[in-house]
Amino acid sequence: MPNLQALRAAAAAIGVIGVVAACLPAHAKNAGAANPLPAKQDWCERVTPRLPGVSVADCRASGLQPTGASSRKGIPILMRTVPAKTARSGEARRVLLLGGIHGDELTAAAIVFHWMKWLSMPEAQAMHWHVVPVMNPDGLLARKPQRVNANGVDLNRNFPTPGWEKDARHYWMKTTGSDPRRFPGQSPLSEPETRWLDEEMERFRPDVIISVHAPFGVLDLDGPAKAPRSFGRLYFNRVGIYPGSLGNYGGMHKNVPVITIELPNALAMPKTDESRRIWTDMLAWIGRSVPPQKSNSANPGAPGQQGPKKALVEH
């Protein structure tokens, strides 16, 4: 028969370990876990079948790492960080590149995987990159890919633009007819995806944000920079300002240029030559139109100054 005193001591020790583990922050709980690669492999195996022209091998070779953040359903948000290699200290543009904020815009995530293969180009190596190809894994991995996340929120209407509480709901009900695909949420930053992105913008302090969407085939710009004429066959054409959108929040209220790249098709990728032209034109535009932070205005929080926007599409 086991020694009763020994069993009680063992049970007490297990209880202490459980209490300590419960009190640890999430990153500390995972510190002793297995190598994160199996989790990334699983992520790649789940995500890439939805993405045109992206293989599991492409995903595994992409250099993506967990950010510590997850979607509403607990799917990790992965990011690749690539420091500048050729720019002098303080002169590297800091670029935050985002794809797949809307889960049903498959090409908007897929093209970012292709672009990551070209980060070794000299023009790209002069910049400091944070790259998130899939901002809305819930929407992408829904039974049928959907614009919104698992909580039914359009992440691109959930950012805390001034007057959000009054404007976002009113706009959603009156202008979109309460379109469930464009529900802005119950409050700004109500979703873990948008909360993480807002925190990432504060941590990284990007000089420019590139947000990829589809399928309207245009470029848009919010914030203090000279607009590009074109990236490849995509020409500049303002698409409107919407309560809670990333462009409105980042460009107009945080004074960070936000380029929205609208690919022409949400399901079919551009040809490789066109994808590369968009990429190289984008790099050239950043190099000539976006100053590094040491050259930025002394008042970085001032709203960007732009004229009124033409309401072209509801995106």
Contact 275, 227 (CB under 8 A): no
Higher pLDDT, 226 or 310: 226
Digit-coded pLDDT (tens) for 37-49: 445 569 999 999 9
Percent pLDDT > 90 in the chain is 75
**What is the percentage of the chain residues whose pLDDT exceeds 70?**
80
Contact 224, 274 (CB under 8 A): no
The C-alpha atoms of residue 63 and residue 207 are separated, in whole angstroms, by 22
286: helix, coil or strand? helix
Q: Which residues of 95-118 are buried (b: 16+ CB within 10 A; e: fewer)?
A: bbbbbbbbbbbbbbbbbbbbbbee
pLDDT for res 35: 38
Mean pLDDT of the chain: 85
- Give the per-residue pLDDT at 174: 92
**Is residue 6 predicted with pLDDT exceeding 70?**
no
Least confident among 3-7, 21-25, 42-46, 226-230? 21-25
Question: What number is the average pLDDT over the span 55-79?
Answer: 96
Domain 36-295 listed as CATH 3.40.630.10: yes
Q: What is the pLDDT of residue 142?
A: 97
Rounded mean pLDDT, 268-281: 98
Average pLDDT over residues 259-281: 98
Confidence of residue 309 (pLDDT cuts 50, 70, 90): very low
Per-residue pLDDT, 25: 34
Residue 239: per-residue pLDDT:
78
